[in-house]
Structure formats: C-alpha cells, structure tokens
C-alpha cells in the first residue's frame, strides 16, 4: 500500500481514538441529568465514569484496527511506531510521515471534541484536565508527582508494546491481535487514569493540550519522552529475547514415508 494512503489511514485512526476516548471522558464520564423533569426533584448521575472511559479507549483501537489495520497496521500512536521500529518491524524512513499523520489526526479529533463540548452552556477549559488532557503534579487527576507519572507512562507503554509485538507476531494466533491490543489499552487506562489521565500516546496528549492552553502544553514533554522511551525499550527487549529465530523461520523438512 502506498505511503500516502497508509498515512491517511493513520490520521483517520488517530482521529477516531481521540474522538472516542477523549470524547467519552469529556462528554460522558460525569454526565448528569436533571431528575426534577421526572418529578423526583434531584439530580442523578448517568456518567460512564473511569471504567467507561477505559473501555471506550479500548474500543476505539479494537474497531479501527479491524476496519483499517489491513491498510496501515493502525499504530495510531508515535510511541507504537517507535516501538515497532525498535523491534525491527517498521522502517525508520517512514517514522516521520507516520508520526505527522498521527498528530494531525489527534488534533482534528480534539478539535471536534472541543467544538461539541463548547456548545453546552457553561462550558469552560478551567480545571486540572480540560478536554481529557494529561498531566503531572497539579494536572495529575490525583496529584501524583512528576517522577510517579513518568514511571507510570514508561511502564504502561512498555507493557502495551509487549502486547502489540506479541499479538502481531506471526507465530501468534492470527486475526485476534486487535482484541488483545484493545483490551490491553483498556487495562492500562483502568490502572493509570488516576495518575496521568493515561497517555501512552504522544499524539493523543498533544491534540487536547493544544486546545487546553499553555499550562498543558508545557507538560507535553513528559508525554512524548516517557511513552517513546517505554516503547523503544519494549521493542529492543522483544526483538532481543523473543524474536523468531532463523531455525524457526526455516520450514521443517517433510517426513519421508517408507516404501
């Protein structure tokens, strides 16, 4: 498939990830309805909460991987692209085009979330994590330190790439990789939303931060450095310890029948 078509697929896929994942966090996580309209006189929550947002992120990857994975492998994430390069699964010459495409898709996805969210009366970008931005310190959902957030992003991305590299290995059962990868991303969000609001994806962090303001842009460095570091470590580790050996690549000689 031509590089341009693959980059377009990467942009669409990353757009879907940010729209579905960040959109669920911004629009549905803490949604409430006015029960007074039903005669009850009090407000009650209908939000999907942390669990729902985690599932939404996993579903975006699972669905778009089945839809467009045959076009561009659906990295949807600069860290994944770097990790696959480190694992000798992706050419270095295509790193930059893929990453640019992913960032464009993420910005577009965040833009749509912003336009929808700003259509509600009282909408504001105030708060520690507007538009589902990622952050540390005062911008960590639970106030975690820079060191804790850095470690979380490195470890979570490392394990994410281990799942991706293993599930897409040609020795693994074929056709199930999107399920494993989507569930892994769901689990990662269940663990780390309270810490960093979960990035493991520099593009996903960049899109919302650009609309949220300078305070959030100033913290973006961590959400580029830590995920890429974790992904590259995983790529080198997998290719060094678990890569298919030359002997495994050579088909076994057919057994000769006795005559």
| Average model confidence (pLDDT) across the chain | 91
Instruction: Tell me the C-alpha distance between 234 and 256, whole Å.
Output: 42
Q: What is the DSSP letter of 259?
A: -
Q: What is the pLDDT of residues 96-141, one digit of tens each?
A: 999 999 999 999 999 999 999 999 988 899 888 999 999 999 999 9
Phi, psi of 134 (to 5 degrees): -100, 155
pLDDT of residue 47: 86
Are the C-beta atoms of residues 39 and 171 closer than 8 Å to each other?
A: no
Kind plus residue range of the DSSP H or E element containing 123: none
Are the C-beta atoms of residues 184 and 160 closer than 8 Å to each other?
A: yes
Are the C-beta atoms of residues 75 and 10 closer than 8 Å to each other?
A: yes
pLDDT of residue 246: 64
pLDDT of residue 30: 83
Q: Residue 191 CA to chain centroid, in angstroms? A: 14
Angle (nearest 5°) at CA 113 between 111 and 118: 95
pLDDT of residue 257: 40
Instruction: Tell me the C-alpha distance between 177 and 180, whole Å.
Output: 5
pLDDT of residue 58: 98
pLDDT of residue 155: 98
pLDDT of residue 122: 86
Are the C-beta atoms of residues 240 and 164 closer than 8 Å to each other?
A: no
| Averaged pLDDT for residues 158-182 | 96
Domains of the chain in start order, with CATH, are 3-31+45-120+127-241 (1.20.1080.10)
Residue 200: pLDDT band with limits 50, 70, 90? very high
Are the C-beta atoms of residues 64 and 182 closer than 8 Å to each other?
A: no
| Averaged pLDDT for residues 230-246 | 92
| Averaged pLDDT for residues 83-91 | 97
Q: Which residue has the higher pLDDT, 160 or 120?
A: 160
pTM over 0.75: yes
pLDDT of residue 37: 52
Q: Which two tokens stand for residue 86?
A: 């480190």
Q: Which two tokens stand for residue 208?
A: 């919302």
| Averaged pLDDT for residues 72-98 | 96
Instruction: Tell me the C-alpha distance between 209 and 231, whole Å.
Output: 22
pLDDT of residue 13: 98
- How distant, in Å, are the alpha carbons of 97, 123, 217 from that of 206? 17, 21, 8
């Amino acid at each position: 498939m031509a590089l341009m078509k693959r980059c377009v697929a990467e942009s669409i896929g990353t757009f879907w990830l940010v729209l579905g994942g960040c959109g669920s966090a911004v629009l549905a996580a803490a949604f409430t309805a006015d029960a007074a309209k039903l005669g009850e006189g009090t407000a009650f929550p209908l939000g999907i909460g942390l669990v729902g947002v985690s599932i939404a992120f996993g579903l975006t990857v699972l669905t778009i991987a089945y839809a467009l994975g045959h076009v561009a492998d659906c990295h949807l994430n600069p860290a994944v692209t770097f990790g696959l390069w480190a694992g000798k699964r992706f050419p270095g010459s295509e790193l930059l085009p893929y990453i640019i495409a992913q960032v464009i898709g993420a910005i577009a996805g965040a833009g749509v979330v912003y336009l929808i969210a700003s259509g509600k009366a009282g909408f504001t970008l105030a708060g520690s994590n507007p538009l589902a931005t990622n952050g540390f310190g005062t911008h960590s959902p639970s106030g975690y330190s820079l060191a804790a957030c850095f470690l979380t992003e490195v470890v979570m991305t490392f394990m994410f790439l281990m799942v991706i590299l293993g599930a897409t290995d040609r020795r693994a059962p074929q056709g199930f990789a999107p399920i494993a990868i989507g569930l892994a991303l769901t689990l990662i969000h269940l663990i780390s939303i309270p810490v960093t609001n979960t990035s493991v994806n520099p593009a996903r962090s960049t899109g919302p931060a650009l609309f949220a303001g300078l305070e959030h842009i100033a913290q973006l460095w961590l959400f580029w450095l830590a995920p890429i570091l974790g992904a590259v470590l995983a790529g080198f580790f997998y290719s060094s310890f678990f890569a298919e050996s030359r002997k495994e690549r050579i088909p076994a000689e057919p057994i000769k029948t006795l005559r």
